[in-house]
């Protein structure tokens, strides 16, 4: 049997009835045309399946096969047009807006979609999954985010790998603003200020059932809370530069620490805590000057607490230590990035999403690389030599 043309997949409610063979061609002709125009002059044509409005941003690609609800709500994608390299997208729909015991959206990394647009090859108009409450297209329209399908995402990805990260525009036919839209470089702005929470928030580990012996619950919640030598629950202060919900869930539900999450520019330099966590986030880390200054003050304490960061947080820690960062050619974004621990040479498979990295050669003498990416040798972690 010949493979079905992906563009002939008709959305629910539009299937032609018997004897009505003209319905499918009519639907094909009624699709809204759209295109992705890149700053180098390249144009890739397709059809709109999201919100019908033109936009612009930095075009990047993600190699993950699944996880688009998490990727689209990851604040680290703020200002970017995401190209998903896996060809089939949307087949398992979008889950509900249910919140967990911490008040966070259970199935998403934040409260909204942060990226500017989504570019895919083959869109599944019909979703099939027990958690699905809506289609990807319906969700994009609710969130006012454009989406284009029918694009040769393999060609776009190869172009980005050769050219490097590139600015682009999503242009929707019939949108009067499409012709006047300029190429927008989000990295010129402080994106962390756009995605960070604006108020301090405290999360406490949930109470375990009295006398429980449930192995499943113990594993899910990590058992007893981590405690200091004084017997109190360990208190971690997390700086929200674009923190993901699952990081909060892991620290609170699994490690069972008291977690205080503060805005990116919050002055925590005079506060007491057992550890300082620097979150992931979008864009150029050098824009977070206030955060860097506050980190540096804590580092200069006579007995500073442990400081650890992930993604942008690692870069902020390096900048506070006196190192430099640089913009990568096309960044590391996907779910299977190999990361080598230089202490043991053990390789970990990690999810990553960053377009900037620490310059290893700029690290002060008392600092050394801890983790490196096995694909391109870029820095993925630093450690202070005690």
d(CA 71, CA 46): 22
Nearest to 263 by CA among 237, 231, 282, 297: 237
The pLDDT tens digits of the residues spanning 94-126 come to 999 999 999 999 999 999 999 999 999 999 999
Q: Is the pLDDT of residue 209 over 90?
A: no
Share of the chain above pLDDT 90, in %: 81
pLDDT of residue 24: 67
Q: How far is CA 213 from CA 205, 210, 216, 311, in A?
A: 18, 9, 9, 37
Short-list 163, 200, 205, CA closest to 331: 163
pLDDT above 80 (res 333):
yes
The 8 Å CB, 24+ separation contacts for 198-201 are: 198/263, 199/263, 200/260, 200/261, 200/262, 200/263, 200/266, 201/260, 201/261, 201/262
Residue 333: strand, helix, or coil: strand
Question: Over the stretch 225-241, which tens digit does the pLDDT of each residue have?
Answer: 777 767 789 999 999 99
Q: What is the mean pLDDT of the chain?
A: 90
Would you place residue 276 in the very low, low, confident or very high pLDDT band (cuts 50, 70, 90)?
very high
Strand order through the sheet with 258-263:
201-203, 258-263, 235-240, 275-278, 307-309
């Amino acid at each position: 049997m010949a493979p079905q043309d992906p563009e002939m997949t008709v959305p629910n409610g539009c299937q032609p009835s018997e004897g009505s063979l003209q319905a499918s061609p009519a639907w094909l002709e009624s699709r809204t045309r759209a295109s992705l125009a890149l700053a180098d002059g390249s144009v890739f044509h397709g059809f709109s399946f999201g919100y019908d409005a033109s936009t612009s941003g930095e075009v990047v690609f993600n190699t993950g096969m699944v996880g688009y609800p998490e990727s689209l709500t990851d604040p680290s994608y703020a200002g970017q047009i995401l190209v998903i390299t896996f060809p089939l997208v949307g087949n398992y729909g979008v889950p509900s807006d249910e919140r967990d015991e911490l008040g966070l959206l259970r199935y998403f990394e934040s409260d909204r979609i942060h990226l500017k647009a989504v570019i895919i090859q083959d869109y599944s108009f019909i979703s099939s999954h027990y958690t699905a409450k809506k289609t990807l297209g319906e969700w994009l329209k609710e969130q006012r985010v454009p989406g284009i399908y029918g694009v040769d995402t393999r060609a776009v990805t190869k172009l980005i790998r050769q050219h490097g990260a590139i600015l682009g525009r999503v242009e929707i036919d019939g949108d009067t603003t499409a012709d006047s839209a300029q190429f927008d470089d989000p990295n010129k702005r402080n994106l962390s200020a756009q995605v960070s929470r604006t108020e301090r928030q405290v999360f406490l580990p949930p109470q375990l059932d009295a006398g429980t012996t449930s192995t499943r619950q113990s594993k899910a919640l990590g058992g007893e809370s981590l405690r200091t030598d004084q017997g109190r629950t360990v208190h971690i202060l997390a700086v929200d530069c674009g923190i993901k919900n699952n990081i909060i869930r892991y620290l609170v539900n699994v490690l069972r620490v008291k977690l205080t999450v503060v805005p990116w520019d919050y002055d925590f330099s005079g506060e007491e805590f057992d550890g300082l966590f620097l979150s992931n986030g979008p864009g150029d880390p050098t824009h977070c000057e206030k955060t860097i200054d506050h980190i540096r003050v804590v580092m200069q304490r006579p007995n500073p607490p442990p400081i650890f960061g992930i993604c942008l947080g690692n870069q902020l820690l390096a900048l506070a230590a006196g190192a430099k960062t640089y913009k990568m050619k096309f960044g590391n974004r996907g779910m299977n990035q190999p990361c080598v621990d230089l202490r043991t040479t053990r390789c970990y498979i990690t999810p990553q999403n960053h377009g900037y990295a620490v310059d290893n050669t700029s690290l002060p003498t008392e600092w050394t690389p801890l983790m490196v990416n096995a694909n391109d040798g870029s820095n993925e972690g630093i450690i202070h030599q005690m």
